């Protein structure tokens, strides 16, 4: 299906997603159980699925010691790992313990101290899931080697996706990058064919609300073992030491938003794991893993994936830095040759005209114009002279002498609709502190299509809560055609343009002084 830039239906309230209290759900995923201890070692809170795992209700353990709850041998095995200095804000592995002799009832115990409590999370282990470090370590070594051999971010991402699929056994692993508007773009995919491919697809920013992105920047990995789970509630329902809902930001078993669970079911994925990719302190993207059937990934494999994600993020950082440096060097080289050309003749505006080809190259533009007093000189593909004059009048009123750039001029200045083809993008540089003198660069319209996973504009409302947003039900490719935009301006280009402006103003000043000397 094709469309031209429709708007999100205004009757739905996108902010409802941002109200989801994801850090304080009051419950956990039931593939494990939780005991929360106070500073004296007393159990003050427990999850209500204790019955399934330990055969006794929370009431039977509250107020007692850890040994009362899980038996003296298991508590003794854990105790050395629960010393103050060992337990951190993020869960770390304490021990694998067996809680019953009858069956293979083993648990990985994770400990972290947060929100005034010592949280112990007992994750039920399945034998098949256990990692073998004799296999994991060589895998990580191979991964580093392959990353070094990859040139592009796409290749590196593909290597990481393959590796994480090997470690975890997930059916589909995607590497997903956020753009400036927060939409995600699938850069790489590793897929065993059990789920449809999403390579190249876009996912709208609203699929992952703001508070979730903030949490994922702090806590770098999460696992949802079974999107059909029934949450296990904490008993009592609030942290007894603070009287407020427990902050489960770092708990591995944190129950996730029911809206997101619906999203997963709509997508046909019952298990998911995502690893945050942090580049220069910012959530750059996610490694997003899916499985059609429920599955559990034990802590040690998750930790290996978290580390693979960190390594990938470091490589992305250095690749981006190197590309940026290369780009700036190139722009600077062109800028130097433009400035050299400008000092040649006597007439400033004619000098400008002589360096127009380099000026276009400098800003990767299709056209440029220089306006000094009443004279306007144009080069390449530009609006006509009267249109440029009107545009300068508008810039003068709205931009207050600052550099102005946009990749969608028509959204700010309606008359630009008449010259979209040559000037959907504009970089406007005032080149005098007193007069209406401007250097303008125009970028042509870049009509392009974006393949979304489902129509991002057709938000759906459940019948019982018509103003509340629910996840979409279709992820079939939906093609959108974008009009009225140019290629975006690169931050490096804007910085160089500012430097260029300083140099130009310097030249203009020198020239004015020379003229004054001549007049004396």
| Shortest reach from residue 300's CB to ligand BLA, in Å | 19
Cα–Cα distance, 133 to 141 (Å, whole number): 12
Among 48, 123, 207, 300, binds ligand BLA (CB under 6 A): 207
What is the x/- site pattern for ligand BLA, positions 313-332, by CB under 6 A? --------------------
Among 75, 95, 205, 259, binds ligand BLA (CB under 6 A): 259
Q: Are 383 and 389 in contact (CB under 8 A)?
A: no
Among 45, 168, 190, 272, binds ligand BLA (CB under 6 A): 272
| Shortest reach from residue 275's CB to ligand BLA, in Å | 9
| Shortest reach from residue 338's CB to ligand BLA, in Å | 43
Please report whether residue 171 would count as binding ligand BLA according to CB under 6 A: no
> What would you report as the CA-atom Rg of the chain, rounded to the nearest whole angstrom?
30
DSSP-derived 3-state class of residue 423:
helix
User: What beta strand segments (E) does 362-474 contain?
Assistant: 367-372, 375-380, 404-406, 425-430, 438-443, 448-453
Q: Are 105 and 123 in contact (CB under 8 A)?
A: no
> Considering beta carbons, is residue 96 or 262 the nearer one to ligand BLA?
262
Residue of 168, 281, 265, 156 whose CA lies nearest to 214: 281
Please report whether residue 302 would count as binding ligand BLA according to CB under 6 A: no
3-state SS, one letter per residue, for 327-354: HHHHHHHHHHHHHHHHCCCCCHHHHHHH
| Shortest reach from residue 186's CB to ligand BLA, in Å | 6
Phi-psi region of 354 (alpha: psi -120 to 50; beta: other; left: phi over 0): alpha
Q: Are 63 and 45 in contact (CB under 8 A)?
A: no
> Considering beta carbons, is residue 170 or 203 the nearer one to ligand BLA?
203
Q: DSSP assignment of 46-106, as one string?
A: EETTHHHHHSS-GGGTTTSBHHHHH-HHHHHHHGGGGSTTT--SS-EEEEEEEEETTTTEE
Sheet containing strand 367-372, edge to edge, reads: 375-380, 367-372, 438-443, 425-430, 404-406
CB atoms near residue 98 (< 10 Å):
15
Q: Are 71 and 64 in contact (CB under 8 A)?
A: no
DSSP-derived 3-state class of residue 467:
coil
Planar angle of CA 129, 135, 140, nearest 5 degrees: 110
**In 115-149, which positions are buried (b, 16+ CB within 10 angstroms) versus exposed (e)?**
bbbbbbbbbbbeeebebeeeebeeebeebeebbee
| Shortest reach from residue 216's CB to ligand BLA, in Å | 7
What is the x/- site pattern for ligand BLA, positions 173-192, by CB under 6 A? -x-x-------x--------
Q: Which region, judged by CB under 6 A, interacts with ligand BLA, from 14-22, 67-75, 152-160, 496-504?
A: 14-22
Among 198, 356, 379, 500, binds ligand BLA (CB under 6 A): 198
Among 203, 356, 419, 489, binds ligand BLA (CB under 6 A): 203
Among 36, 252, 256, 429, binds ligand BLA (CB under 6 A): 256
> Considering beta carbons, is residue 224 or 331 the nearer one to ligand BLA?
224
| Shortest reach from residue 211's CB to ligand BLA, in Å | 8
As a residue count, the chain comes to: 520
Please report whether residue 288 would count as binding ligand BLA according to CB under 6 A: yes
Q: Which of residues 427-486 bind ligand BLA (CB under 6 A)?
A: 469, 471
> Considering beta carbons, is residue 263 or 500 the nearer one to ligand BLA?
263
| Shortest reach from residue 439's CB to ligand BLA, in Å | 41
| Shortest reach from residue 123's CB to ligand BLA, in Å | 17
| Shortest reach from residue 438's CB to ligand BLA, in Å | 42
* Binding-site ranges for ligand BLA (CB under 6 A): 16-17, 20, 22, 174, 176, 184, 198, 203, 206-209, 212, 222, 224, 256-257, 259-260, 263, 272, 274, 286, 288, 469, 471
């Amino acid at each position: 299906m094709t469309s031209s830039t429709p708007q999100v239906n205004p009757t739905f309230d996108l902010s409802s997603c941002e109200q989801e209290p994801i850090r304080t759900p009051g419950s956990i995923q039931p593939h494990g159980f939780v005991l929360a201890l106070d500073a004296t070692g007393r159990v003050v809170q427990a999850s209500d699925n204790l019955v399934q795992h330990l055969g006794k209700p929370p009431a039977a353990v509250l107020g007692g010691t850890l040994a009362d709850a899980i038996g003296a041998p298991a508590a003794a095995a854990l105790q050395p790992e629960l010393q103050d200095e060992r337990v951190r804000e993020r869960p770390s592995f304490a021990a694998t313990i067996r809680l019953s002799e009858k069956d293979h009832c083993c648990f990985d115990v994770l400990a972290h101290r947060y929100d005034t409590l010592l949280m112990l999370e007992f994750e039920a282990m399945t034998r098949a899931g256990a990692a073998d470090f004799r296999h994991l370590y060589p895998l990580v070594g191979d991964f580093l080697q392959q990353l070094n051999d990859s040139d592009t971010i796409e290749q590196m991402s593909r290597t990481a996706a393959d590796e994480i699929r090997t470690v975890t056994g997930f059916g589909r692993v995607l590497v997903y990058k956020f753009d400036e508007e927060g939409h995600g773009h699938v850069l790489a995919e590793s897929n065993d064919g059990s789920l449809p491919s999403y390579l190249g697809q876009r996912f709208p920013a609203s699929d992952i609300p703001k508070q979730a992105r903030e949490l994922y920047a702090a806590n770098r990995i999460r696992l949802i073992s079974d999107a059909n789970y029934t949450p296990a509630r904490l008993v009592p329902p609030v942290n007894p030491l603070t009287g407020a809902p427990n902050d489960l930001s770092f708990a591995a078993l944190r129950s996730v938003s029911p809206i997101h669970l619906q999203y997963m079911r709509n997508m046909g994925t019952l298990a998911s794991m995502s690893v945050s990719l942090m580049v220069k302190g910012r959530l750059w993207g996610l490694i997003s893993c899916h499985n059609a059937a429920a599955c559990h990934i034990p802590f040690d494999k998750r930790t290996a994936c978290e580390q693979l994600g960190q390594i990938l993020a470091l490589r992305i950082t250095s690749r981006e830095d190197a590309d940026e440096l290369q780009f700036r060097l190139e722009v600077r080289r062109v800028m130097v040759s433009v400035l050299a050309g400008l000092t040649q003749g006597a007439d400033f505006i004619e000098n400008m005209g002589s360096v127009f080809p380099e000026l276009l190259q400098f800003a990767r533009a299709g056209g440029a114009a220089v306006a000094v007093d009443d004279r306007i000189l144009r080069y390449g593909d530009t609006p006509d002279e009267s249109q440029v004059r009107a545009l300068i009048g508008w810039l003068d009123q709205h931009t207050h002498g600052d550099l102005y750039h946009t990749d969608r001029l028509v959204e700010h200045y309606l008359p630009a609709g008449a010259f979209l083809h040559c000037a959907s993008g504009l970089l406007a540089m005032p080149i005098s502190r007193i007069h209406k003198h401007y250097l303008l660069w125009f970028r042509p319209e870049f009509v392009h299509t974006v393949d979304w996973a489902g129509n991002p504009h057709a938000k759906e409302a459940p019948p019982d809560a018509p103003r509340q947003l629910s996840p979409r039900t279709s992820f079939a490719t939906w093609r959108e055609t974008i009009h009225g935009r140019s290629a975006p301006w690169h931050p490096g280009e804007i910085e160089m343009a500012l430097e260029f402006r300083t140099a130009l103003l310097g030249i203009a000043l020198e020239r004015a002084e020379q003229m004054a000397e001549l007049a004396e």
